[in-house]
Amino acid sequence: MPGKVTFILGIHNHQPVGNFDHVIEEAYARAYLPFIEVMKDYPGIPFALHCSGILWDWFAEKHPEYTEAVASMAAAGQVEIMSGGYYEPILTIIPERDRQGQLAMMKEFIDGTFGAGPRGCWLTERIWDPHLPDTLSKAGLEYVIVDDSHFKSTGFTARQMRGFFLSEENGKYINVFPIDKSLRYLVPFHEPHEAIEHLRAISEEPGGERKIAVLADDGEKFGLWTGTHDLVYKHNWLRRFCDALMENSDWIEVSTFSRAVDETPPRGIVYLPTASYSEMMEWALPLRAQEAYQDAKGILTGSGRFPDAAEAVKGGFWRNFLVKYEEANWMHKRMLRASALLSDSGSGDAEARSHLYQAQCNCAYWHGLFGGLYLPHLRSAIFKHVLEAEATLDIPAIERRDIDGDGVEEVIFASPKMQAFFKAKGGVLRELDDMRTRFNLTDTLTRREEIYHRDLKDLDKQGLNGEETVSIHNHGTAKEKGLEKKLLYDRWPKASLSDRFMPEGTTLDLFASGAYAELGDFVDGIYDIETEGDSVIAMSRNGSVDSSPVRVEKRITLDGAGASMKIDYTVTAGGSGLSCLFAVENVFSFLAGDAPDRYFEIPGREIAGGRNLASSGVEEDVERLRMVDEWLDLAMTMDLPPDTSVWRYPIETVSNSDSGFERVYQGSALVVVRKLDLGPGEAESFTMVILIS
C-alpha cells in the first residue's frame, strides 16, 4: 500500500495581445471549453485555473458562458482562480509601479467576477527573480508557482521538492511551489497510467512528510497543440486520467494550492536565482552558446549519471533575449519610455494606463519554440498600444535620449501626426510612426540564424508527418518545401536611411542575400547628429570607402503637419575619388506580403514582377513609389530624383511555430541606388522625400 501523495493540477490559459480573433476562437473550441466541460463531470477533482486578462476580456465579449461556468465551479469549491499580471507581463522587466498596477487590476477583476480575491499567482513563463517575494507579498498574494529547474539550479534533488517552500526579500515572504517536470512531459503525451505510476513512485519515497506533486502547465496542450484534441477528447485521455485519479483516491489526494498552504507546513526557506523553465533558459542563449549547451547536455545525459541534465547545466537569463534580439530590446525600451512619461505626467488616465499594460504583454518580446517576436502582428500590437499611451501625453517636438541603452543618444521628433526616431549608430531612421493610425511603419525583423535552422534539411529523416501527437518540444514539420533555400542572414540590423557603398555590377540578388561586398564603413558607424530648431536633424559622418576618405551628410527636414520628411543627401569624395554604387536601404512593413489590398504603386507604369509587397524587382528612373495599405487606409510615398533606381525585395524569415517551420513576411526593403563617379573633392547631392498619408 503506497503512502499518501497530494496532487495539484494547475491550468494556465493565455493568448497574446494582438492575436487574431479566429486563432483565439479555435483555442476556445478545441481546448478551453472542452476542458471545462469534461472537468464539470468530475466535481471531486479540484484544480487551479489562471486565464490572462486578455482572455477574460475576450470571454466577456465572445463567450460569457465560459466565465459563467467557471464561476459556478469556483462557487462549488472545484476551481481556484489564480492571479497574475492582467495582460500577462513578465513582472521582472517592468517597473514596480506597473507590476502592482497589473496585479491590482487582476485582483479587482477576480474579486468582482468570482466573489473572492486570489491567494496565489501564475508567474508568466515562470520567470523568477529574487526580488519577486517583495512584489508579490505587497500585492496581497500568498503563493507562486515556478519550475523545478529553479530549485535544481541551486542543488535540490527531485525528492527534496515534494512540497512547497518560503522565499523572502526585504522581510516579505511568499510560498513557492515547484512544478514536476516529469509530469509536465508525461501529460497528456503518455497514457494516464504512466502519470499515475509516477505519482505512485513519489508516494513510496522515504520520509514521513506529506508529499506534494504539482502539474501546472499551458491549457493549450489539452486540445490545441498538434494532435492533442483527438487524443485528449476523442480518445478520452482527460476522462481516463480523471477516472484513474478517482480510482486511486485512497492514496492520491487531489487538492489546490490554497488548501495545501492551509493544511501543510512549508518545507523550509529557499532562495532561488533568476530562472525560468529549462527550455526558456536555453532559448535565451546566443546561438553558439546554445550549441555548446546542447553538446554539454548530450555528454551529461550520455554518461548515465544525470537523468536530467538541468541538474548540472544551467542555461541563460531571460533578459538576454533583449541582447540577442535588437528588436525586442528596442520595443522593450520604447515601452519603458512610455511608462516613465506616463508616470512623470501624473496622469490618472485609466485608458492610457490600460494601453501601457497591454504593451507589456510578454509574447512579442522573445522567441523560443514558437513565433513570438517573429510574428509581425504581435509586435505591431505592442507598438500600437505604446503609441496609444503616448498619444495622451504632451511630448516635446525634439528630444535627445539614449532609448535603447547602447550608450549613444537617439533623436526623437514628435508631432500629432508623426513620430520619427533617429539613431546615431548607422545614421538610420529606426522607427517611423503614423500617429493617426497608431502604426509603426518600420517595424521589421533582421534575418538571423537560429539553432533549429539546421534541422530543416533533416525533417524527412525524422518521420514526422505533422499529424502525430508528440510534445511540442520534439515536434518538427515544414509548412512548405524548399524553406532551407530561404535561410538568408543579415550582417546588420534592418533600418531605414542605411547608407551602403557597393562595387559596380552588384545585383539585387547579391544585395538581398547579404552576399554583396560592402566597401564602406558607414552601415554601423557612428554619425554626428545635430538639431536645428524643432524640425531639422542633420546627420554626418567622415568615413571611408575602399580605404579612401568619404563624407556623408544627410539633412532631414521634418513636417509634422504634413507627416513628411525631406532628406537632402550629400556624398563628398576625398583621396583618389569615388566610383561605385551608392545605396540607401529603407525598410517598411504593412504586415501582409501577399494580401491584395496591400501593394506597391508607381504612377504611370506597371511594376515588373507584380505589385504585391512580397515581390522583388528592379525599377529604373523612378521618381515616385508608393506602398499602399487599404486595410489601414495608409500609404507611404517616396519621391526620388530622376535617374534613380529602386531595388525592392521582401524581408522574410524562417521560424518555428506550433504547426511547423514557416516563412514569415517581415517587411519590404526599398533600396534607392545611384551611380557615383566623383573625383577627389567632388560631391554629389540629391533629395528624397518620405510622406505618410
Of the residues 80, 88, 125, 433, only one is catalytic, namely 125
What sign results for the dihedral spanned by CA atoms 410, 564, 395, 358? Answer: negative
Please report where in the chains the cell 462549488 appears, as a residue. Answer: 76
Phi-psi region of 544 (alpha: psi -120 to 50; beta: other; left: phi over 0): beta
- The residue type at 15: Q
What 8-state DSSP symbol labels residue 361? B
Which is nearest to 87 in space by CA: 126, 51, 36, 44? Answer: 51
Of the residues 57, 142, 218, 399, only one is catalytic, namely 218
Please report where in the chains the cell 486563432 appears, as a residue. Answer: 23
Please report where in the chains the cell 482527460 appears, as a residue. Answer: 238
Q: ∠ at Cα 319 (316, 323), nearest 5°?
A: 90
- How many whole angstroms separate alpha carbon 92 and alpha carbon 19? 23
Grid coordinates given for 284:
535565451
Residues 6+ apart with CB under 8 A from 18: 361, 364, 377, 378, 380, 381, 382, 384
- How many whole angstroms separate alpha carbon 192 and alpha carbon 190? 6
Q: First CA to last CA across the chain, in angstroms?
A: 75
Residues 6+ apart with CB under 8 A from 415: 397, 435, 558, 560, 561, 563
3-state secondary structure of 393: coil
Q: ∠ at Cα 382 (559, 430), nearest 5°?
A: 40
Phi-psi region of 451 (alpha: psi -120 to 50; beta: other; left: phi over 0): alpha
Partners of 582 in the β-ladder: 501, 674
- How many whole angstroms separate alpha carbon 342 and alpha carbon 358? 14
- 218 is a catalytic site residue: yes
- How many whole angstroms separate alpha carbon 455 and alpha carbon 563? 45
H or E segment and range at residue 691: strand 683-692
What amino acid positions are annotated as catalytic residues?
Answer: 125, 218
